[in-house]
Structure 1
Amino acid sequence: MASSINHHVMERAEFDRPVKILIVTSPYYKDIADEQVVGAKAEIEAAGGTWDVAEVPGALEIPTAIGIAERMSNFDGYVALGCVIRGETTHYDTVCNDSSRAITLLGLQGLCIGNGILTVENYEQARVRAEVAEQNKGGGAAAAALHLVALARKWGGPRKGVGFKPASDEIQIAGAAKGPNLA
């Protein structure tokens, strides 16, 4: 069982200015989602951050909600929470693969997302992974988002020596003295 394996846990990310995180959750399995949200909120608060929660119908809608929030609000990062339990059809594979792929694509565009969408075989696996006293995957997803925000802030300064620099005022004035460029 995975719970008996020791995993390395990074130290909590630290910030010099406040962090605002959006938790997007699908309460399809409400008790599982609620427990994940408890863990995520606690982790964000422990890092000195603030959070807001948005609910969507299912795991496939989570990446869309994150994409909308990124375009229309001012969050530093996102936590994706939900649960997909294998059923009798291939719908499980579609939901797991497509939600994960969409979150990955958003991340590759620069969004700081912790993916806590559980993909499990049965309810008991989901319960163990969601419970704060057990594996606390909601808290882990929040920690991942916070670490990505910390990296984005670390690397987000102006680039040196890359790309084009605008012409300085001195060059523009000197060029204007020669007359208009009719090229």
Structure 2
Amino acid sequence: MAGSESHYVLPRPEFDVAPRVLIVVAPYYKDIADALVAGAVAELEAAGAFHEIAEVPGALEVPTAIRIAHRQSNFDGFVALGCVIRGETTHYETVCNDSSRALTLLGLEGACIGNAILTVENRKQAEVRAEVAGQNKGGGAAAAALHLIALTRRFGKPSRGVGFRSPIENEILLAGDGEGPKTA
């Protein structure tokens, strides 16, 4: 049973500036989603990260919501949460494959995403994986997002902003301060 195997967990990254993380959750199975969110929130708070939560109808909408936020907002990373339980049709394969593929493509575009869209055979497997005191896949997804944010900050170029650097730490002056021209 995979649940009894031990594995290495990277130490939690530390940040000089708190990361902003969007948790996108599909609460189709509300109790499972709530447990995933609880694990993710606990991990983000332990790292000092700011977080916001957005709900979408299902697992297929999670990547779209992340794409919208990645393009139009200022989040450093994302946590994808949801659950897909195998049913009697091939819809399971479509939802699992397409949501995973879309999240991977977003990651390759530069979005820092931790993925805990559970893909399971039955409800019991989902409960074990979602439970904070169990496998805590929500917390694991948040940790993955935090590690990717840390890597992005480590390898990324510093933001230069717009304007001129002031002698005062982190103050940026823009041309045309509204006071008109200075006279000597």
- 1:134-173 to structure 2, matched below 5 A, reads 134-157=134-157
CA distance in 1, matches of 2:13, 2:84: 29
Q: Which structure has the highest helix share of the two?
A: 1
The whole-number CA distance in structure 2 between the counterparts of 1:49 and 1:120 is: 29
- Counterpart code for 1:12: R
Displacement of 1:72 after TM fit? Answer: 1.3
Give the secondary-structure state (helix, strand or coil) at the position aligned to 1:115.
Answer: strand
For residues 53 and 12 of structure 1, the distance between their equivalents in structure 2, rounded to whole angstroms, comes to 21
Cα deviation for residue 153 of structure 1 reads 0.2
> What's the offset of the Cα at 1:114?
0.2
Q: Please tell me the root mean square deviation across aligned C-alpha atoms, in Å.
A: 0.6
Task: Give the C-alpha shift of residue 152 in structure 1.
Answer: 0.2
Q: Once superposed, which parts of structure 1, at least 4 consecutive aligned residues long, lie more than 2 Å away?
A: none
What is the CA–CA distance in structure 2 between the aligned matches of 1:76 and 1:30, rounded to whole Å?
Answer: 26
Aligned sequence identity (%): 73
Shift of 1:6: 0.4
Q: Distance in 2 between matches of 1:86 and 1:144?
A: 25
Which of the pair has more CA radius of gyration?
A: 1
- Tell me which residue corresponds to 1:179: none
In the superposition, the TM-score normalised over structure 1's length comes to: 0.85
Instruction: Give the gaps of 5 or more residues in structure 2.
Output: 159-184
With the length of structure 2 as denominator, give the TM-score of the two structures: 0.85
Displacement of 1:157 in angstroms is 1.6
Structure 1: gaps of 5 or more residues: 159-183
1:98 aligns with 2:94: no
Q: Aligned letter for 1:96? A: C
